[in-house]
Amino acid sequence: MKLALGTVQFGLDYGIANSQGKTQIKEVASILNLAKNNNIRTLDTAANYGNSEKVLGNVGVDDFHVITKTVSIKSGVRKVVDSFYQSLEDLNQKKVDGLLIHDVKEVKHSKFDILFNELISLKQQGLVNKVGFSTYTPEQVDFLLDSFEFDLIQIPFNVFDGRLIRGGQIDRLNSHGVEIHARSVFLQGLLLDFKRKHKYFSLWENEFKIYQTMVKESGLSLVEYALCAVLNIKGIDKVLVGVNNSSQLAEIIRASSLDIELSMYEIDDVNLLNPSLWKL
């Protein structure tokens, strides 16, 4: 199964289309059970996702491959490593499948090489299977490929954002044997609900109308189109989705069963494609 499950909603009130707030632990258990029964076995979390890791540890994640992320290096290399051990404790796990540098801009920190060597050491000790990075731009991917050897990467990718195909980064990552996980496939929920959007997005009102017409003419729902457009991209290993309840996950699972080649609708504007630039 190419789907993977993001868990930020289990620890934080996250997403512009999220009207339900943080997911309650009983619902988390239902979501994980549904995921397991549908062969979704990869979970993405982070020390900075509120109490997400504690929630996952309480519910139980023995049947899953867990990927977590580092805290900021600003508190020191030791703090980052200690936080990883805390993540293991919170998750109630002896090891994790992946450990990612959460903020790729920290590669410029004077102590980053020391930190990266510490992460490699964790891998050599068998506490981590794969070490890598969470990224936001094609330029960051290029820099990482030129500067480090790593196993896993998270990239932003959705029906509006095909920069990493056009720029050749996905092909380069594949040729280096790097496992690729795509996130932001629903652009924090924007691609699922254009009616309740913030006034900030009025800049792209015309593009949104054209895209919605394209989806309507395809006979698919917004969920089906946005998801299948990414799932059928060759070279992407996992597609991360975040949900607030099991019914949302069930809808995504149904949509993922469609084997359809779909056209992207690219909007080449980083002020839309990068949520950290949104002025909400």
More confident residue, 234 or 196: 234
Residues 99-114 have a mean pLDDT of 95
Give the per-residue pLDDT at 196: 78
> Quick check: helix, strand or coil at residue 47?
coil
Q: Are 202 and 194 in contact (CB under 8 A)?
A: no
β strands within the chain, DSSP E: 3-6, 42-44, 65-69, 96-101, 128-134, 152-156, 179-183, 238-242
Residues 234-247 have a mean pLDDT of 95
Query: Could you read off the pLDDT of 24-71 as tens digits, one per residue?
Result: 999 999 999 999 999 999 999 999 999 999 999 999 999 999 999 999
Enter the DSSP assignment of 265.
-
Q: Are 229 and 260 in contact (CB under 8 A)?
A: no
Other beta carbons less than 10 A from residue 161's beta carbon: 24
Report all structural domains of the chain as residue ranges with CATH numbers, in order of start: 3-277 (3.20.20.100)
Q: What's the CA gap between 212 and 200, in Å, rounded?
A: 18
Query: Could you read off the pLDDT of 202-237 as tens digits, one per residue?
Result: 999 999 999 999 999 999 999 999 999 999 899 999
